Structure 1
Amino acid sequence: METDGNGSMEESRSKLLLYLKLAFLAMEPSNCLLSLAIEAGGGCITQQVQNFIVKECFAKNMKETTMNNQAYIKGILKKVIANVESSSVCAEDCLYEELAHYLTIGGPPEENNIIYREISFLSSDLDGKDCSNSVNLVAALRCSSNMLEGDTGCSLWPSSLFLSEVILSHPEMFSNKSCFEVGSGVGLVGIALSHVGASKVTLTDGDMSSLANMKANLELNKLCLDVASDPMHPCAQKVECRHLAWELASKAELQDQRPDIVLGADIIYNPECIPDLVRVFSILLDNDSFGEDKREAPSAYIATVIRNLDTFNYFLTVAGKSMLSVVDVTAKTQVPNLLPYMRSYDRSSVHLLRVSLLSE
């Protein structure tokens, strides 16, 4: 840990402890947490760090969260204890007591594949500031722990993390704008849009289970959805969830949205869906279809990981035939790392595309 004296060393340790706590709440893999714990201790998991883990990490779990996340918690405790026991540092009794507690309480029903994650976005100017005041936004997310069995829409993906970083880093682009997201998944991007003051946020998904989970996440983050029960809530007219199957969406339904900005994260993945996806974007971005209600032409931003180059090139081909301009603006968009504690998150793999309708 490189420092410029005792003050710098303490600041660095304080920052690493914050990262450790946030990584735990975000349910980062155990190897990432161990790495942060060792760095915070200056090369080993000291007794001070052990006590911090028990008091600051586990103490933050709510009852419902603890029940669903206890397999993760037990795994972390076992890894920390094993690491400490293999070093010259004494293991604190609180570690064993905490593990014993989780070994004795009953687990969630076997069919319950739900976990709870807290994603904390830090301020872009964290260096030199009080770490305790460095968190810009905390998004509580109900996610699936079993995405390999089809719950991909209830999982958290790198592209949605990156798109949320873009929104929080450039609030002036999205504040007071009507924003429409295609394939919203867990709803993280919508939470970020609401945070920066978008005038309207419409989140959509074609999968009903993902849509139900998304609504639960908005309620978890105190973003009102039920206008009838609370019409005066500041988010009552602002955040909306809609079912949108790309292949079934009518032109009239899409034209009725009239968004200023269209967004999407990790939506370029299935070649069979690409023609329908491009059609949806073409209609949403067609300012001429709005009749006499002229305004600035809408634009779109898609964050994507290019997992299959053939699929991505097919998207570019179909988009070009539909008169859509697709420009990679990743290098031109300054996006500070607001998630430095999420070491499993490879932000370098995500591309940011700006999509617009070409004028004839």
Structure 2
Amino acid sequence: MDEEFNPSTTACLHLVSAFLAMEPTDCLISLARECGQGSITMGVQSFIWKECINRAASNINRPSDSYIKNFLKKVILDVESHCSDVLDGLYEQYAYYLTSLKDDSLMAANNRVCKSISFLFPDGCLEGTRRPTSKLIVPLQCSLNMLKGDTGCSIWPSSLYLSEFVLSHPKLFSDKSCFEVGSGVGLVGMILAYVKAKKVILSDGDFSSLANMKRNLEMNQLITGTDMSDRTIQDPHLVDCIHLPWESASESRLRDFRPDIVLGADVIYDPLCLPHLIRILSIFLNPVESNPCQGKDAPEDNGLAFGSCLGRAVYGEASNTESQCDIAKKGTVAYIATVIRNLDTFHCFLKLTRENHLSVVDITETQKPLEFLSYMQSYNRSSVRLFSISFSGDQNSSMVAIDDCKSGS
């Protein structure tokens, strides 16, 4: 194989990473053309055959057969459209899938697939930290139906962004007790384990999502009792996975966790759930021994009227002089990444934080994470906002206008 198709080169690494992540096949074709400087040459086809179809696809945690079939079809059509020769092995493999797979019956029978997310470390990043390779691969079982009742088993942009943020600031999370609300597939928790958080607690209120999350932890050898000889990330004793319905979690149980850092990705989505989310955050972030806004273990379900404190919420952008360490020194802090799809819902979230003495600071522009997923063309980083949330006793803090807040599609 020509030197330009060495798997360690950037273009080739991006192609294999996108294949493992099951990026849209059009993205793979675009990356394959980049490898061939504009066309899918015979050398690129050989690389695809060896590194994607044979090597990567032979792994137990591999893309689905239907996905590989569709990718092969796109490659063959692209090469033939340019009147070029197609590698015999690609023809043969595609013919095999045509005869063994009828339409997408396999995908219809099993709506779970394995996507392997490759975090590619930029040159010179994480100096002073110990990392064995230039990339971290996290296999995840997830859903094919992101918007059809299986959202908790899907990989969302905010979880990718929050994972990049954790990897960009490992010292902020190292040796800290971290608690994630609405953990979904568990990706953020696995990255927290990788940067050596002292304790990682993942939670979700949906039993289907919880079962899928536990499966993912097992695949990454992060559940106590699994074989450590072939672990992919870190110590399997670090991560706990718990069922935590926001509306019924008792205050006493929540206070027992005593996290240093709370995290959440795309948890600001439903106005009916927001009062319960704010109660959870208030209990974790408020330094006093009991929740000043609610004497009972669980709040009454009074919708958006929840929260009787007359505090002041602060919404704005972090100053350039305020580092993440400065923010963390204020006490327990929450980092929430979200795509703002509905401004009314986000305004509701801010209203509830204001009523519960929570300070909300937009740190998206001042604390941009490094890009570890540059090959992932379907991932729109610009749609995600990152907020730092902490308890605020400042009654004189002013409210900053949010009319220009970005919204996602």
Q: TM-score, normalised by structure 1?
A: 0.89
Residues 117-173 of structure 1: per-residue CA shift (max 9 Å, x gap) = 11010112279xxxxx86331111000112232110000000000000000111000
Give the drift of 1:13. Answer: 9.5
Residues 122, 251 of structure 1: alpha-carbon distance in 2 compared, 3 angstrom cutoff: same
Q: Which residue of 1 aligns with 2:272?
A: 272
Residue 341 of structure 2: SS of its match in structure 1? coil
Residue 142 of structure 1: SS of its match in structure 2? strand
Tell me the C-alpha RMSD between the 2 structures.
2.7
Q: More deviation in 27-36 or 56-65?
A: 56-65
1:61 to 2:57 alignment: yes
Q: Which residue of 1 aligns with 2:218?
A: 219
* Distance in 1 between residues matched to 2:44 and 2:235, nearest whole Å: 40
Q: Which residue of 2 aligns with 1:161?
A: 160
Q: Which residue of 1 aligns with 2:283?
A: 283
Q: Which residue of 1 aligns with 2:186?
A: 187
* Distance in 2 between residues matched to 1:63 and 1:18, nearest whole Å: 17
Q: Which residue of 2 aligns with 1:3?
A: none
Asked if the contact 1:30–1:79 (Cα under 8 Å) also holds between the matched residues in 2, the reply is: yes
* Distance in 2 between residues matched to 1:150 and 1:225, nearest whole Å: 30
Residue 272 of structure 2: SS of its match in structure 1? helix
Q: Which residue of 1 aligns with 2:21?
A: 26
* Distance in 2 between residues matched to 1:271 and 1:280, nearest whole Å: 15
* Distance in 1 between residues matched to 2:58 and 2:220, nearest whole Å: 14
Residues 267-296 of structure 1: per-residue CA shift (max 9 Å, x gap) = 0000110111001000011222289xxx96
Give the drift of 1:39. Answer: 1.2
Correspondence for 1:351 among 385, 392, 398: 385
Q: Which residue of 2 aligns with 1:138?
A: 137
**Alignment-mate amino acid for residue 195 of structure 1:** Y
Correspondence for 1:43 among 33, 38, 42: 38
Residues 153, 45 of structure 1: alpha-carbon distance in 2 compared, 3 angstrom cutoff: same
Residues 244, 336 of structure 1: alpha-carbon distance in 2 compared, 3 angstrom cutoff: same
The total of aligned residue pairs comes to: 342
1:201 to 2:200 alignment: yes
* Distance in 2 between residues matched to 1:125 and 1:13, nearest whole Å: 13
Asked if the contact 2:363–2:387 (Cα under 8 Å) also holds between the matched residues in 1, the reply is: yes
* Distance in 1 between residues matched to 2:31 and 2:124, nearest whole Å: 17
Residue 37 of structure 1: SS of its match in structure 2? helix
* Distance in 1 between residues matched to 2:357 and 2:94, nearest whole Å: 59
* Distance in 2 between residues matched to 1:251 and 1:153, nearest whole Å: 24
* Distance in 1 between residues matched to 2:16 and 2:237, nearest whole Å: 35
Asked if the contact 1:299–1:355 (Cα under 8 Å) also holds between the matched residues in 2, the reply is: yes
* Distance in 1 between residues matched to 2:175 and 2:73, nearest whole Å: 48
Q: Which residue of 1 aligns with 2:407?
A: none
Asked if the contact 1:124–1:169 (Cα under 8 Å) also holds between the matched residues in 2, the reply is: no
Q: Which residue of 2 aligns with 1:120?
A: 118
Q: Which residue of 1 aligns with 2:89?
A: 94
* Distance in 1 between residues matched to 2:331 and 2:290, nearest whole Å: 11
Residue 11 of structure 2: SS of its match in structure 1? helix
5 Å-filtered alignment, 1:7-22, equals 14-22=9-17
Q: Which residue of 2 aligns with 1:4?
A: none
1:250 to 2:284 alignment: no
* Distance in 2 between residues matched to 1:122 and 1:303, nearest whole Å: 21
Give the drift of 1:237. Answer: 3.9
Give the drift of 1:186. Answer: 0.3
Give the drift of 1:219. Answer: 0.6
* Distance in 1 between residues matched to 2:259 and 2:52, nearest whole Å: 41
1:72 to 2:106 alignment: no
* Distance in 2 between residues matched to 1:123 and 1:317, nearest whole Å: 39
Residues 259, 212 of structure 1: alpha-carbon distance in 2 compared, 3 angstrom cutoff: same
Residues 33-72 of structure 1: per-residue CA shift (max 9 Å, x gap) = 1111111111110001111111101221246545x71111
Residue 149 of structure 1: SS of its match in structure 2? coil
* Distance in 2 between residues matched to 1:11 and 1:216, nearest whole Å: 33
Asked if the contact 2:183–2:202 (Cα under 8 Å) also holds between the matched residues in 1, the reply is: yes
Residues 82, 109 of structure 1: alpha-carbon distance in 2 compared, 3 angstrom cutoff: closer
Residues 341, 257 of structure 1: alpha-carbon distance in 2 compared, 3 angstrom cutoff: same
**Alignment-mate amino acid for residue 141 of structure 1:** L
Segments of structure 1 that go 5 or more residues without pairing to the other structure are: 1-6, 128-132
* Distance in 2 between residues matched to 1:237 and 1:57, nearest whole Å: 33
Segments of structure 2 that go 5 or more residues without pairing to the other structure are: 126-131, 292-328, 395-409
Asked if the contact 2:5–2:12 (Cα under 8 Å) also holds between the matched residues in 1, the reply is: no
Q: Which residue of 2 aligns with 1:309?
A: 343
The alignment-based identity, stated in percent, is: 51
**Alignment-mate amino acid for residue 156 of structure 1:** I
Asked if the contact 2:5–2:47 (Cα under 8 Å) also holds between the matched residues in 1, the reply is: no
Asked if the contact 1:258–1:290 (Cα under 8 Å) also holds between the matched residues in 2, the reply is: no
* Distance in 2 between residues matched to 1:101 and 1:73, nearest whole Å: 11
Residue 83 of structure 2: SS of its match in structure 1? coil
